Amino acid sequence: MNLSNLKPAEGSTKTRKRIGRGAGSGLGGTSTRGHKGAKSRSGYSKKVGFEGGQMPLQRRVPKFGFKNINRVEYKAINLDTIQTLADAKNLTKVGISDFIEAGFISSNQLVKVLGNGALTNKLEVEANAFSKSAAAAIEAAGGTVVKL
């Protein structure tokens, strides 16, 4: 055996169908496309959602609601979470960078502090938004609220 007489194993390869190469090929004429109709023509592509002329699903189902393009999405962080973070890292100032470092948010998210839980330490809390109860609880504990 040498490089000049190498060939693939018996039955491992198939010859490809050469469609539309004359009557002698057995695949001439309609070229395996059947007779007439859109699917036999060149350039045919079915529209997305086409259901054979039946009223398509996206037109049968009614429209409802709307998307508010001015919506601001906040990631909620509660006071008890801030307290555990401050205790774990012995912090007096808790900010956005601490939340990112702890894995609570990603760098492009906005934070809103909510009032669930209680603060025992005097903390300076920095966030994009605060609920009224959270702001009151932080100030009641002797801390300060810094809105970004």
Residue 88's pLDDT is 92
Q: What is the pLDDT of residues 119-147, one digit of tens each?
A: 998 999 999 999 999 999 999 999 999 99
pLDDT tens across 49-92, in order?
Answer: 999 899 999 999 999 999 999 999 999 999 999 999 999 999 99
d(CA 31, CA 25): 10
d(CA 33, CA 35): 7
Closest by CA to 61, choosing from 49, 73, 69, 52, is: 49
CATH topology for the 74-147 domain: Ribosomal Protein L15; Chain: K; domain 2 (3.100.10)
**Angle value at C-alpha 67, between 65 and 73, nearest 5 degrees:** 130
Query: 115 near 130, Cβ under 8 Å?
Result: no
Q: State pLDDT tens for residues 5-48.
A: 999 999 999 999 999 999 999 999 999 999 999 999 999 999 99
Amino acid at 61: V
Which amino acid is located at 102 in the chain? A
CA nearest to 137, candidates 122, 104, 121, 115: 115
